[in-house]
Amino acid sequence: MSTQASRSAARVMLSPAVISLLIWMIVPLVLTLWFSFQRYNLMYPERAGFVGFYNYTTFVASPDFIQAIVNTLLLVLGVLAITVIGGILLALLIDQPIWGQGYVRILVIAPFFIMPPVAALVWKNMFMNPTNGLFAEAFKALGLQPFDFLGVAPLISIIIIVAWQWLPFATLILLTALQSLSSEELEAAEMDGAPAHKRFWFIILPHLSRAITVVILIQTIFLLGVLVEILVTTNGGPGTASTTLTFLVYKQSILNSDVGKAAAGGVVAVILANIVAVFLMRAIGKNLDA
Amino acid sequence: MARAVTTRRKTLTTVAAWGIALLIFFPILWMILTSFKSEETAVLSPPVWFWFDWTTENYATVMERANYFRFFMNSVIIAVGSTALGLVIAIPAAWSMAFVPGAKTKDLLMWMLSTKMMPGVAVLVPIYLIFIKLKLLDTHFGLIVVIMLINLPIIVWMLYTYFKEIPGEILEAARMDGATLRSEILYVLLPMAVPGIASTVLLNIILAWNEAFWTITLTTVNAAPLTKFISSFSSPQGLFYAKLSAASTMAIAPILIMGWFSQKQLVRGLTFGAVK
Amino acid sequence: MGQITLSKVTKRFGDVSVIPPLDLRIEDGEFVVFVGPSGCGKSTLLRLIAGLEDVSDGQIAIDGKDATGVPPAKRGLAMVFQSYALYPHMTVRKNIAFPLRMAGLSPAEQEKKVMAAAQVLNLTSYLDRRPGQLSGGQRQRVAIGRAIVREPQAFLFDEPLSNLDAALRVNMRLEISELHASLKTTMIYVTHDQVEAMTMADKIVVLNAGRVEQVGSPLHLYQNPQNTFVAGFIGSPKMNLITGAEAAKHSATTIGIRPEHIATSTTEGLWKGTVGVSEHLGSDTFFRVNNTGLGETIMVRAGGEVAIRHGETIYLTPDPKKIHRFDDKGQRL
């Protein structure tokens, strides 16, 4: 129904949401943008002034930056690989006729609901600790030297932790998509003589392609923002071995007082996120009639 | 598939599925087990699995410290508060988009969803400075507003999808029956949308409880929720493994249980309709 | 009381004009049926009258007072929706009471009126059930009850019977007609079924692509269709419309003759043809006649059971007094 009365009511009813989100988006971003062009250090507030792209060039030129970008890419791609491939396989497995499918789902879903600090600390203390972590125990039982996961392979360790948290999400989404595949299509293919792996590549995988795309894009957005897991385990170290772009900007924001440089880093992070968001929006927009 | 599957095959796949599921669940299981050990038992080498003296002393110790209760309550306040505030803003918005759609409705929805993709670090400094200026740092109110804002797109989106399932004609009938807008929403829409609202509330509480960026950066002591409390133990001092496990178990228990009931809502809320 | 006037009412959706300027006058107490093919704008027109849509232009007056900008709740009208639109979370009693509750009546008064309506509609034993527990016909009655209880100036029905099965439809048709006879309130009824229109209406408004093709009583429309559209729409089976040489013989571009006005004979007649598909209903026989040289298959209706077989030759004679003539614009001559 659309009358003038209902349309003006609709505008009024929308305004709190629109206005609050508008303010939330614009005000901080504008400030960040503003700061990024300023030389603004909280310790020397009197030495402020417009410095053009100085902050950007120093930020991008610092050796930490390259490392951070590489680490970010490794983290995102690593977690995506594990969760998507693992998710597909898990979804296929859970979709089979098994006893207690509901309970299996509950067990597999669980890691996603664990708050990041707890997840990170469980892995750090219980598993990866070289003195009394379970992995260390396993290595010792095999007669090997315990491996200092977080010290020697910090990024890989974090990838494992984050992938553990997000595997359930990917699995759940892919399982949902899988279950919407009509069994008739698969049965017809079977009657046509297609073997299992062909059915997988030519029927199941294409059907899942949209879900896979969504999983990849949504996870990427969230993965770019991973912070607590790094903060609580390696704090970005040793050195910058496990510092991602987000963590770099965070460190600059909190630890240094160079607001200008941190802001420039923030803008770079926004640009990166926006690139992914554009693709995600297009994928979502295609079926926003829900 | 209506075909009978051989028991042998079913057994094999069941074993495989359960095996992998238990493997994935293991860290959580281990943490829960550790919470019932004494500190000495917790660090035994080789580790003990089930056959030890189970004790609840860790839970008692953790709960005795008044701090823990405060952190827990803060998590509750933030989760419930941001959800309630979010509903108040989102219900009218979702009503307009679902029942009085315009040409721009779809774009508006997309824009709202896109605000969720803004990286928190990018705006950390301005928000932090603003919070200091407005004296909102480490306050419940400030944190509730921020957490509400980051989840608002999802609340609006979920309510929108649920509202769209309600036939518009019923609301029109209410208007013909003399209902004002307020009556229409209060007496007709909301009662019909209760399941959808419950699902949205469930998902939002989970998201707010687990939020670990703003809850850590914008709090110190007063409004600090469990996320902040737990992450303060990144260097192992003060709490040892068994007690940390107990604290952690209590921190995740409510959400774990809620999460098990909200799988469908998760898919609906976080894939924005792209997966059905 | 329930007198409604539409003056130059127009409705556009964006650039598309769904209803060109339309004038219509509905008298108090009339049973008016808006009828026409799908998409002709009849439901839109009803919704404009109800106030659920804004007019793009023009004026709607109820009892002489301008109601064009008035919200639906304040127009004093009641609507029965095609899907009934009952409140699923409320009992039948609460459904019917809802408008009274909105009007601020006390619970006692609400109960009195609800009981009265329930008695008229035979709903008294269902008052504590929910819509989900009712059959289609019962839900219909609840929807009507909810409308009655408002004591409106006019009732608006939006294809209320299309979701019911055939037998139920016939019953409900009678019930609604009886309701009209007892309440004497104006009723505006939208349907695509011309049988409903013919049997229930005091006045029929035939609509086509938003335009009023003709307004009149059922019999008037049957006997004097103003154009080929109305001629072909009213009456079942459709009137035979013949163009070409035969029409020219009557100085018209198109002539029309209803199937029931054609006499048949196996020996002699004006037109000769072969029998095609025939339908034997017992009470009537309908058959199609091909190869008449008239360019169209002629539909013929004969009373009773006629023993005629596929492929047989047959002679048709139209009743000359019942031939309708139309010009090249489809208008009646």
d(CA A142, CA A134): 12
C-alpha B48 chain-centroid distance: 33
d(CA B205, CA B187): 25
- The answer to whether residue A111 neighbours chain B at the CB level (below 8 Å) is yes
Q: Which chains are adjacent to chain A, needing at least 3 Cβ pairs under 8 Å? A: B, C
d(CA C315, CA C296): 15
- CA angle, B141 as apex, B140 and B144 as ends, to 5°? 85
- The answer to whether residue A48 neighbours chain B at the CB level (below 8 Å) is no
List the single best residue of A3, A4, A6 to mutate versus C (max C Cβ within 10 A): A3
- The answer to whether residue A4 neighbours chain B at the CB level (below 8 Å) is no
d(CA A12, CA A16): 8
N residues, chain C: 333
* Summary mean pLDDT of chain C: 90
Per-residue pLDDT of chain B (276 residues; tens, 9 = 90+): 445 678 888 888 889 999 999 999 999 998 898 888 888 777 776 777 777 778 888 888 888 876 788 899 999 999 999 999 999 999 999 999 999 988 889 899 989 988 988 889 899 989 998 999 999 999 999 999 999 999 999 999 999 999 999 999 999 999 999 898 999 999 999 999 999 999 899 999 999 999 999 999 999 988 999 999 888 887 766 557 888 888 899 999 999 888 888 888 877 777 776 666
Q: What is the DSSP letter of C259?
A: G
d(CA A99, CA C286): 63
SS3 C314: strand
Interchain contact, A266 vs B125, CB within 8 Å: yes
- Numbered residues of chain B with Cβ closer than 8 Å to any chain C Cβ: 167, 169-170, 172-180, 183, 187-188, 191-192
Write phi, then psi, for C62 (nearest 5 degrees): -115, 120
d(CA A213, CA C289): 61
Interchain contact, A1 vs B100, CB within 8 Å: yes
C47 pLDDT exceeds 80?
yes
Q: Which of A129-138, C46-55, C119-128 has the lowest mean pLDDT?
A: A129-138
Residue B233 near residue A97, CB atoms below 8 Å:
no
Q: What is the DSSP letter of A126?
A: I
* Summary mean pLDDT of chain A: 85
Residues in a beta bridge with C59? C7
C residues 119..148 contacting B (CB < 8 A): 146
Q: Indicate the residue of B34, B258, B271 with minimum beta-carbon distance to A218.
A: B271
Residue B179's closest CA among C97, A11, C89, C153?
C97
Residue A234 CB neighbours (<10 A): 24
- The answer to whether residue A18 neighbours chain B at the CB level (below 8 Å) is yes
> Residue C270: what residue type?
L
- The answer to whether residue B154 neighbours chain A at the CB level (below 8 Å) is no
User: Mean pLDDT, to the nearest integer, of A190-207?
Assistant: 82
> Is pLDDT larger for residue A59 or for residue C92?
C92
Interchain contact, B125 vs A32, CB within 8 Å: yes
Is the alpha carbon torsion for A150, A155, A160, A161 positive or negative? positive
Token pair 């200026």 is at which residue? B133
In chain C, which residue's Cα lies nearest the Cα of B167? C85
User: In chain C, which residues have their Cβ closer than 8 Å to the Cβ of B174?
Assistant: 87, 98
Q: What is the DSSP letter of C302?
A: E
The model's pLDDT over A259-275, given as tens digits with 9 standing for 90+, comes to 888 888 889 889 888 88
In the numeric block, which tokens belong to residue A47?
A: 């030495």
Q: What per-residue confidence (pLDDT) applies to B38?
A: 82
Token pair 């360790």 is at which residue? A157
Helices B140-164 & B263-270 angle (0-180, nearest 10): 90
- The answer to whether residue C83 neighbours chain B at the CB level (below 8 Å) is yes
- Kindly report the pTM of this predicted structure: 0.87
Write phi, then psi, for B235 (nearest 5 degrees): -105, 130
A residues 123..182 contacting B (CB < 8 A): 123-127, 132, 134, 137, 140-141, 164, 167-169, 172-173, 176-177, 180
d(CA C165, CA C162): 8
Alpha-helical segments (H) within B100-167: 105-115, 120-133, 140-164
First CA to last CA distance, chain A? 20
Q: What per-residue confidence (pLDDT) applies to B1?
A: 47
- CA angle, C270 as apex, C266 and C273 as ends, to 5°? 55
Residues in a beta bridge with C313? C274
Residue B44 CB neighbours (<10 A): 13
Interchain contact, B178 vs C99, CB within 8 Å: yes
In the numeric block, which tokens belong to residue C131?
A: 């819509």
Write phi, then psi, for C164 (nearest 5 degrees): -105, 155
E strand or H helix that includes residue C19: strand C16-26
In chain C, which residue's Cα lies nearest the Cα of B194? C89
Phi-psi region of C151 (alpha: psi -120 to 50; beta: other; left: phi over 0): left
Name, in order, each residue with C-beta under 8 angstroms of A282's C-beta and a sequence gap of 6 or more: none
Write phi, then psi, for B256 (nearest 5 degrees): -60, -45
The model's pLDDT over C103-129, given as tens digits with 9 standing for 90+, comes to 999 999 999 999 999 998 889 998 999
Residue C127's closest CA among C146, C109, C108?
C146
